[in-house]
């Protein structure tokens, strides 16, 4: 359930002047330019963490817009290499035109993944709302079939279908399957997803268990204490942990820039103290670093689609010292 307070904060924030939204979002968005993201990553690199770079924007209306995102990601790839950053890429398939021109959208994604592969950089396909779940998974499977295995997807714990998707991808990709598992930002219909907090957490935890049992790489993307606590317990049960080579007999080979079968991921500006604690314990941690001209649209969409963020916004505004990035 979304508290009335969170709803009130969201309703108030989306009506505020653009400068105010920018002030709030500066904690969660690196800035409008690629150079802003580079500055953030260089600074946070000192905290023993790695990164996922995301260019803000997704569903588009023309293929000309898709070209902009492709070009921007090419620039981001070059910047990662030039600055010797421990970072990979996170892309939204709809921003590459997957819903407008599926064939061209796939080619755009393939070309970027090929470029990243030549430079030993991993590419994560973000999972958008349920309309593109099937298409996103298919893109990953098709790319692997063409020999491009430096790509994986995100799965949302809240969806009823997720456990079946893990089974299907295990069958298709075997030990090369690589997931980011999260609760899911999209408030999906109750016909296809869990809607209560406890059910979503439980479903996400079950997905973590299944991914680990499948021998796949498990990127645990959560700021929720119950999920992180469960993940650490699950890792221990599989004999996995800081400084331990992945002991699972069905595990794939370790990739460059990856942990020993798993890692923890956090959004920029959210639960910094938790991330630093995990890193201090020896776990590999990764910060999701979004940047781009569409920072305003991203911020408003996040607030509208998931009002639970309202409480985080209020805390950042009233008690910024409690959660530095």
- For residue 125 the two structure tokens come to 């396909």
- Give bridge partners of residue 55 from the DSSP assignment: 291
Name the average pLDDT for the chain.
87
Say what the pLDDT of residue 253 is.
85
119, 145 Cβ separation under 8 angstroms: no
Strands (E), 258-299: 262-267, 285-291
What confidence tier does 221 reach under pLDDT thresholds 50, 70, 90? very high
99, 128 Cβ separation under 8 angstroms: no
What confidence tier does 214 reach under pLDDT thresholds 50, 70, 90? very high
User: 30-291 has which fold?
Assistant: TIM Barrel (3.20.20)
What tens digit of pLDDT does each residue of 256-283 get?
889 999 999 998 888 888 999 999 999 9
What tens digit of pLDDT does each residue of 76-130 get?
999 999 999 999 999 999 999 999 999 999 999 999 999 999 999 999 999 988 8
Domain residue limits, the chain: 1-29+305-325, 30-291
Using a 10 angstrom Cβ sphere, with 0-12 exposed, 13-18 middle and 19 or more buried, the burial of residue 298 is buried
Among 145-149, 282-286, 307-311, the minimum mean pLDDT is found in 307-311
Say what the pLDDT of residue 278 is.
97
């Amino acid at each position: 359930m979304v508290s009335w307070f969170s709803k009130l904060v969201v309703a108030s924030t989306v009506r505020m002047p653009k400068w105010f939204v920018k002030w709030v979002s500066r904690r969660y968005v690196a800035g409008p330019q690629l150079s802003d993201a580079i500055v953030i990553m260089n600074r946070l690199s000192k905290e023993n963490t790695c990164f996922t770079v995301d260019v803000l924007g997704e569903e588009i209306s023309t293929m000309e817009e898709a070209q902009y995102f492709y070009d921007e990601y090419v620039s981001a790839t070059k910047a990662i290499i030039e600055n010797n950053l421990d970072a990979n890429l996170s892309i939204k398939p709809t921003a590459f035109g997957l819903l407008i021109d599926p064939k061209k959208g796939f080619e755009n994604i393939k070309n970027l993944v090929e470029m990243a592969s030549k430079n030993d950089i991993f590419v994560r396909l973000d999972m958008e709302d349920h309309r593109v779940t099937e298409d996103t998974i298919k893109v990953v499977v098709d790319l692997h079939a063409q020999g491009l295995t430096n790509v994986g997807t995100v799965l949302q714990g809240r969806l009823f279908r997720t456990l079946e998707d893990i089974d299907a991808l295990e069958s298709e990709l075997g030990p090369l399957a690589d997931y980011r598992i999260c609760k899911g930002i999209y408030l999906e219909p109750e016909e296809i997803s869990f809607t209560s907090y406890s059910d979503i957490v439980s479903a996400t935890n079950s997905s973590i268990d299944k991914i680990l049992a499948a021998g796949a790489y498990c990127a645990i993307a959560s700021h929720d204490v119950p999920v992180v606590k469960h993940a650490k317990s699950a890792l221990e049960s599989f004999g996995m942990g800081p400084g331990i080579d992945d002991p699972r007999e069905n595990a794939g080979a370790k990739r460059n820039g990856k942990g020993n079968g798993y890692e923890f991921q956090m959004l920029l500006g959210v639960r910094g103290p938790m991330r630093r604690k995990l890193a201090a314990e020896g776990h590999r941690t990764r910060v999701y670093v979004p940047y781009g001209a569409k920072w305003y649209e991203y911020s408003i969409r996040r607030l509208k689609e998931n009002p639970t963020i309202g409480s985080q916004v209020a805390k950042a505004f009233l008690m910024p010292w409690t959660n530095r990035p």
